[in-house]
Amino acid sequence: MRIGILGYGRFGRALGELLHEAGHAYRAWDPMSGVPAECRATDLPELAAASEALVLAVPIAAQAAALASLRPHLQPGQVVFDVGSVKAGPCALLDAQLGEEIPHTGTHPLFGPVSLARAERPLRVVLCPSVKHPAAADRVERLFRSLGCEVLRQSPEDHDRVMATTHALTFFVAKGLLAVGAGAELPFTPPSFHAIARTLESVREDAGHLFAALQNENPFAAGAREGLLEALSAIHQSLAEAAETGGGEQLSIPDLGTRSPVLQEARDHIDALDRELVALLARRTELGLRAGRAKAELGLPVHDPEREASQLQARRAWADAAGLDAQGVEEVFRAVLRASRSAQGR
C-alpha cells in the first residue's frame, strides 16, 4: 500500500520508519518539519495524488485545519485515518469533514518514538471504525497487522474512558511527581520507586504538547483527575487522623504473604521476572535485526568479533559490580549473541 503521511513530527517520522521496514512505500509532507528528500512530497496535492491511504499525524489541535486543506485533494478510493491519543473528538471531526464520500477511520497506536527506539513489543493499536465506512477500518487493520501490530477495536467513547484512567492519569500523576522533584537525580532509591522512575522517564521523553491534549481533549479525563484527587485527599485525611489516634490499620496495603506461602510468592516473582526477561530478549532481537539491516546497507559482515569481545568484557565487569558470577553471566551473553547472529541470518 502506498501511504501518505501528513505531519512529520516525532511520531510521523517514527511511523515512516516502521512502514519502510515493513516494505511499504510512503511519502510525507510537513511545511514545519524537515522531511528527507527520498520520501518528501513537493506539496499537499502531490501527497494526496500519490497515496492510497493518508495518515493524519498532526497534533489534535491542528487536525481541523489539516483536514480542511487535505479534503479538496481526496478521492473516494482512498482511506484517511488519524493517529491521535484521543478519539471521540477526532473521529467526530473525520465524520463531519469527510462524511460518506471519503472512507476514514480513527486509530490510536499505543506506541511512540521512544517505545519503537527501545524495540518494545508487542505493538498494539486501537481502531475506532466509522459506522459509515466499515471497509475502511478493515483496510487500515490489515495495514497495521502488516507492521506486526495487534489491533483492538473499540468505540471512540470506550477508548477515551479507558485512556482517561490509564494514559491521562499516568501523565497527570507523573507531572505532579516531577513538579515535587521526584524525577531528580538521586543517590539511591528503594525498589518500589524503580518502576515509577521508568514511567517518569517515558513521560518526560514524550512530546510536550501531548500532556495538554490528553487532559483537555479527552472528555473523561477531568472526571478521572477529580476522582483521583478526591481519593488522595481522603487518604491524606485518614493518615492525619491515624497519626492523632494511633490507628491506621484500615490504611495498610494488603500483604501478599498473608495469602500465599513464602515459596509460592518467590516463585510468582520469578515467573514474572522471567516473563520480563523474555520480553527484553525479544526487544534485543529486534534491535539486532535493525543493526543487521544497517550493516547490510553499509556492506559490513554480520559477525563482528571485535565488537562481541568488547561486549562480553563489559558484561563481565557489570556482573562483577553486581556481585554475580562473571563467568556464568558471560556464558548467558554468549548464548544471547549466538541467537542474535542467528536472527540476522548468520
Place of cell 483492538: 152
| Domain encompassing residue 177 | 160-229
Predicted pLDDT at 304? 84
**Domain final position from 184, 208, 229:** 229
Predicted pLDDT at 27? 97
**Residue-wise DSSP of 77-116:** T-EEEE--S--HHHHHHHHHHHTTTS-EEEEEES--HHHH
Whether residue 95 sits in one domain with residue 126: yes
Q: Name every residue whose Cβ is closer than 8 Å to that of residue 118 and which is 6 or more positions away in sequence.
A: 283
Per-residue pLDDT tens over the stretch 37-92: 999 999 999 999 999 999 999 999 999 999 999 999 999 999 999 999 999 999 99
Tell me the average confidence (pLDDT) per consecutive run of 10 residues in the chain, 346 residues long: 95 94 95 91 96 96 96 97 97 97 97 84 95 96 96 96 95 90 80 84 71 93 96 92 76 57 76 88 89 86 86 92 90 88 74
**Domain final position from 175, 207, 229:** 229
Per-residue pLDDT tens over the stretch 263-294: 777 787 888 888 889 889 988 988 888 888 88
Whether residue 270 sits in one domain with residue 209: no
Whether residue 136 sits in one domain with residue 70: yes
Give CA separation, 25 vs 3, 32, 40, 49, 50, in Å.
6, 22, 12, 14, 10
DSSP H/E element including 170? helix 169-179
**Within 10 A of 304 (CB to CB), how many other CB atoms are there?**
14
253 part of a folded domain: no
Predicted pLDDT at 136? 97
Predicted pLDDT at 108? 98
> For residue 195, is it left (φ>0), alpha (ψ between -120 and 50) or beta?
alpha
Alpha-carbon distance of 69 to 80, in angstroms, equals 13
248 part of a folded domain: no
3-class DSSP state of 11: helix
Strand partners, 82: 56, 106
Rounded-to-10 torsion of CA 229, 232, 237, 241: 170
321 part of a folded domain: yes
Whether residue 135 sits in one domain with residue 32: yes
Whether residue 24 sits in one domain with residue 86: yes
Predicted pLDDT at 54? 98
Amino acid at 158: D
Predicted pLDDT at 250? 62
265 part of a folded domain: yes
